Structure 1
Amino acid sequence: MKCQKKYMQLYAVTDRAWAKEQSLYEQVEAALKGGVTAVQLREKHLSEEEYIKEACEMKKLCAKYGVPLFINDNVKVALACHADGIHVGQNDMDPEEVRALVGDDMMIGVSAHSVEEAQEAVRKGADCLGVGAAFATLTKSDAKVLPPDMLQAISKSVDVPIVAIGGINRDNLPQLAGTGISGVALVSAIFAAKEIEQETRALFQMTEELFG
């Protein structure tokens, strides 16, 4: 399944740390109503059984809104819920191994932090790339912020859609204009908002102007 640029415009990455007054399901639906163009389900502490159950529910929810669901790292969960895509980091499974397991119909996203990593990922079958950290982020304290020109260099070096990730919010989002990316992946900028749907609508409008 070829990754379309439009999927990357406003890519929401879940973090249940922000699911307090609402369930994660309710938060994701609010984000979908607000206009997110893809959802990545990321769970680090659920059992495999719980993760699969949640992923199947999220897949149905995303399908209702016509938005692709990516699963973070876990091939078994991605296959079990018939996800549209899977995203793997540099220290996770090799993209070629992932492709052998998931077949040709599932999109594969890969994290990249340099031109070399980006080109290698695409050579091994990545359909899209997550590049970062664009800015300092609390979500991953060990993430290194990329030099200002790196996003543009990576964008020029490959021919797949690229989403920037890491510390991106409404204030710094305009700084990514002209970098050649297809969109942005957001965690707390969406899920830490008091009014998720309203905030997502504002973010969608900004990304539409910058990358649409």
Structure 2
Amino acid sequence: MRRNVNTIDKLHYITHPLPDYPIAQQVEDVCRGGCSWVQLRMKEARTEERLAEALRILPRIRHYGATLIINDDVYAAKAADADGVHLGADDMHPSEARHLLGAGKIIGCTANTLDDVLRLSQYDIDYIGVGPFRFTSTKEKLSPVLGGEGIHRIVAAARIHGVRIPIIAIGGITPENIGGLLNTGIHGVAVSGAIHAAMDKATACEAIIAQLNTHHPSPITHHPSLTTNHQKNERHTKNS
């Protein structure tokens, strides 16, 4: 059961473990600033640790009427009764995650190429995070950086292929980048450092939300689509 595009927020805040800035405080600050979508990311944690943190922040999430997504860990998401899960390339298969979580939960996946987007769009998922836009120090094992041009080409080609799943740009995004990224046809952005590095986190969050809500994207030009591996194989077969 794929959700309506309007139920996927335009701003996704991704938590980051920081010694002097607890995740619970991060959640409080961004929710106070109007963010209603929080992704709990604890890359090196065990399921028990993620679950404990999820249960710690869930009352604040619910207080603000926000959405809680757990990064990587379907079991923690299910045990905490979070709103959903975000899956990386090396995480559980989205079909298995859907079976475990049920139809009512949100499932997002990460993509780095057009092939990734086309493959993932076949499954019962709700959004796709495409990136990284640029280098980011908040994520380890970074995939090849796409830049605005790369994201534009993937989004345009995906639309030509009939993909209508909301696409969220991820990776090293700052407020200065958002206007240009919205012109690529993305639905929204995922940020971390752009908010937690700001002096006033709530105000920074408010400013990004205002930018997302008031920006009027330029018409999308149909860039030449990225050649998928499937298309390459077809051409090879015809020419051999």
Residue type of the alignment partner of 2:67: P
Q: How does 1:11-26 map to 2 (within 5 A)?
A: 11-17=12-18, 19-20=19-20, 22-26=21-25
User: Is this contact kept in 1: 2:112–2:143, CA < 8 A?
Assistant: no
What SS class does the counterpart of residue 143 from structure 1 fall into?
coil
Who is 1:43 aligned against? Answer: 42
What SS class does the counterpart of residue 91 from structure 2 fall into?
coil
Who is 2:118 aligned against? Answer: 119
Q: For 2:57 and 2:4, how far apart are their aligned partners in 1? A: 19
Q: For 1:116 and 1:40, how far apart are their aligned partners in 2? A: 25
Q: For 2:183 and 2:44, how far apart are their aligned partners in 1? A: 37
Who is 1:97 aligned against? Answer: 96
Q: Which has the higher Rg, Structure 1 or Structure 2? A: 2
Who is 1:146 aligned against? Answer: 146
1:177 shift after superposition: 2.5
What is the aligned-residue identity percentage? 34
1:45 shift after superposition: 3.3
Q: For 2:57 and 2:154, how far apart are their aligned partners in 1? A: 30
Residue by residue over 1:122-143, the C-alpha shift from the partner in whole angstroms, topping out at 9 and shown as x without a partner, is: 2121111111011232223633
- TM-score normalised to structure 2 length: 0.80
1:14 shift after superposition: 0.5
Residue by residue over 1:60-79, the C-alpha shift from the partner in whole angstroms, topping out at 9 and shown as x without a partner, is: 22121111110001111000
Q: For 1:155 and 1:63, how far apart are their aligned partners in 2? A: 34
Q: For 1:88 and 1:32, how far apart are their aligned partners in 2? A: 23
Q: For 1:97 and 1:174, how far apart are their aligned partners in 2? A: 36
Residue type of the alignment partner of 1:7: I
Who is 2:237 aligned against? Answer: none
1:211 shift after superposition: 7.0
Change (3 A) 1:79 1:99: same
- TM-score normalised to structure 1 length: 0.90
Which of 172, 190, 213 pairs up with 1:185? 190
What SS class does the counterpart of residue 171 from structure 1 fall into?
helix
User: Is this contact kept in 2: 1:9–1:211, CA < 8 A?
Assistant: no
- 2:212 aligned with 1:202: no
Q: For 1:75 and 1:51, how far apart are their aligned partners in 2? A: 11
Comparing 41-50 with 118-127, which one deviates more in the overlay?
41-50
Residue type of the alignment partner of 2:10: Q
Change (3 A) 1:78 1:182: same
What SS class does the counterpart of residue 168 from structure 2 fall into?
strand
Residue type of the alignment partner of 2:11: L
Change (3 A) 1:16 1:154: farther
Residue type of the alignment partner of 2:144: K
How many residue pairs were aligned?
A: 210
Q: For 2:46 and 2:137, how far apart are their aligned partners in 1? A: 25
